[in-house]
Amino acid sequence: MFTPRPTSTQRSPRPIAQRLCLACLCLTILDARADTPATRPNAQTTATTPPAPEARPAPTPPVAPLYHRPVTSASAAPRAKSYQTPVTSAASPRTAKPTATTSANAARLCPDRPRTPPKGFIDLEALIDGLVLDIRYHRADNFTGAPIAGYGAPKAWLLEAPAQALKRVQDSLRKQGLGLIIYDAYRPRRGTDAMVAWAERTGQTALLDGGYIARRSRHNHGTTVDLGLVDLKSGRALDMGTDFDTLTPQSRTRAAKGKALQNRLLLKAEMEKEGFRAYFREWWHFQFTVPGSRPRDVPYGQCEIDEWAGYQN
Ligand SMILES: [Zn+2]
C-alpha cells in the first residue's frame, strides 16, 4: 500500500521544488540541506550524532562525509566486478520483517549474483554498447557510507522506453567520442526505505518530519536515471564541477563554470532531446515519463527476496 505523500501543511513552501524532491530521495536531502543549515549532515555532525535508540547497530563503516568529495577525472570507477558485497547496515527493517531471510543473512548464505530483470525492465549494460556503470549504492562509497539494500549486484535497469531512449543518447554521444556513466537507475523500494532509515539513524529526522525526504521515488518506477559523461577512450568521467550525489547548491545544473558547465549543458541537451526531463538542482538526475508505471521492489541481487508483499500497491 502506498504511504500517502505529505499533506499540504507538511509540504515545503515551494510546491514545485517539493514535487520534484518527492521524485528522488537524494533531491530531497539536497533541498533540506539548502533550507535548514542546522540539519546539514557533515563530517562533524554525522560523527557525533548518536544513533536513535531504536536504530539497528551498523556493522559496516560509519557514515562517511561524502557530500563534498572533490571531483577528479578518476572519479569514474571502472566497471564493478564484484557481486559479493554484503548488503547490511542500510537495510530497512521493513524489508527484513516478513521472512527470516534478511538482506544480511542472504548475503552470508550465498554470493549475490545479478537477478534477471523483471518483465518490462531492461538491463542497460546489455542493451547499450560502451555504457559505463558506477553503481555507488552497491558499494560503501555513497552518501550513507554503506551498501544500500536492494543493490546486491552492481546493475542498472530501466523500463523499456527510457532504456531505448538512453541508447539513442549514447549513440549520439558516441559520434563525439563520449558516452554515459550510470550512477543509479531503477531503485528497489527497499533501497529508498534504507535511505530514509539512514536519515533516522543519523538523527536527521527533521528531514522526514518536514516532508523533505520522500518515502517514494520515481527511481522506484524504473523511469529515472542518475548519470554523467565519460570519455569513451579512457572511460573516465568528464569534469561536471561536482561529483554525483554532492548534495549542495553547487550541483545545480547552471551553478558551474567553464568546461564543467559546458559538460552539464551537453548532457542536459542530449537527454532532453530523447525525452528525459532534467532537474535543475542536480545535474545528474533525469526523469522519463512512462504512463502506468508503478514502484517496484525487485532487488538487483538474487539473494534478497523479491517483491515483499508488504509493498503491494
Ligand atoms: Zn536521482
Domain harbouring 128, CATH code: 3.30.1380.10
User: How much distance in Å is there from the Cα of 20 to the middle of ligand 1?
Assistant: 10
In single-letter form, the type of residue at position 57 comes to P
Specify if 69 maps to a domain: no
Specify if 48 maps to a domain: no
Checking if the pLDDT of 264 tops 70, the result is yes
Checking if the pLDDT of 5 tops 50, the result is no
Q: What are phi and psi for residue 195, nearest 5 degrees? A: -70, -40
User: How much distance in Å is there from the Cα of 99 to the middle of ligand 1?
Assistant: 30
Domain count within the chain: 1
Closest to 129 in 3D by CA, of 162, 158, 166, 80: 166
User: How much distance in Å is there from the Cα of 287 to the middle of ligand 1?
Assistant: 8
User: How much distance in Å is there from the Cα of 23 to the middle of ligand 1?
Assistant: 8
For 311, other C-beta atoms within 10 Å of its C-beta total: 18
pLDDT value at residue 310: 56
User: How much distance in Å is there from the Cα of 300 to the middle of ligand 1?
Assistant: 17
User: How much distance in Å is there from the Cα of 24 to the middle of ligand 1?
Assistant: 5
- Distance from chain centroid for Cα 126: 20
Cβ-contact 245, 26 below 8 angstroms: yes
| Number of helices and strands in the chain (H, E) | 10, 7
- Write out the three cell numbers for 80: 564493478
Cβ-contact 225, 218 below 8 angstroms: no
Specify if 178 maps to a domain: yes
Specify if 1 maps to a domain: no
User: How much distance in Å is there from the Cα of 155 to the middle of ligand 1?
Assistant: 15
User: How much distance in Å is there from the Cα of 60 to the middle of ligand 1?
Assistant: 24
User: How much distance in Å is there from the Cα of 192 to the middle of ligand 1?
Assistant: 11
Specify if 37 maps to a domain: no
pLDDT value at residue 209: 62
Instruction: Give the up-direction half-sphere exposure of residue 255: CA atoms within 13 A in the CB hemisphere.
Output: 13
In single-letter form, the type of residue at position 155 comes to K
User: How much distance in Å is there from the Cα of 225 to the middle of ligand 1?
Assistant: 6
User: How buried is 233 (Cβ within 10 angstroms: 0-12 exposed, 13-18 middle, 19+ buried)?
Assistant: exposed
For residue 232, name the pLDDT band (cuts at 50, 70, 90). Answer: very high
User: How much distance in Å is there from the Cα of 201 to the middle of ligand 1?
Assistant: 22
Helix (H, G, I), strand (E, B) or coil at 80: coil
Contacts of 283 (CB under 8 A, 6+ apart): 228, 240, 241, 242, 251, 252, 253, 256, 264, 267, 268
Of how many residues is the chain composed?
A: 313
d(CA 139, CA 48): 23
User: How much distance in Å is there from the Cα of 148 to the middle of ligand 1?
Assistant: 15
Q: What are phi and psi for residue 75, nearest 5 degrees? A: -65, -20
In single-letter form, the type of residue at position 152 comes to G
Specify if 7 maps to a domain: no
Lowest mean pLDDT across 38-42, 56-60, 155-159, 270-274: 38-42
Question: pLDDT tens for residues 49-102?
Answer: 333 333 344 444 333 333 333 333 333 333 333 333 333 334 333 333 333 334
Q: Which of 35-44, 119-128, 189-198 has the highest mean pLDDT?
A: 119-128
User: How much distance in Å is there from the Cα of 184 to the middle of ligand 1?
Assistant: 7
d(CA 113, CA 86): 11
- Write out the three cell numbers for 77: 570507477
Specify if 15 maps to a domain: no
Closest to 2 in 3D by CA, of 239, 294, 301, 264: 294
Structural domain that includes position 246: 75-188+220-311
Where does residue 222 fall: left (phi above 0), alpha (psi -120 to 50 degrees), or beta otherwise?
Answer: left
Specify if 110 maps to a domain: yes
User: How much distance in Å is there from the Cα of 133 to the middle of ligand 1?
Assistant: 15
Cell numbers 545544473 correspond to what residue?
253
Lowest mean pLDDT across 133-147, 149-163, 262-276: 133-147
Checking if the pLDDT of 34 tops 80, the result is no
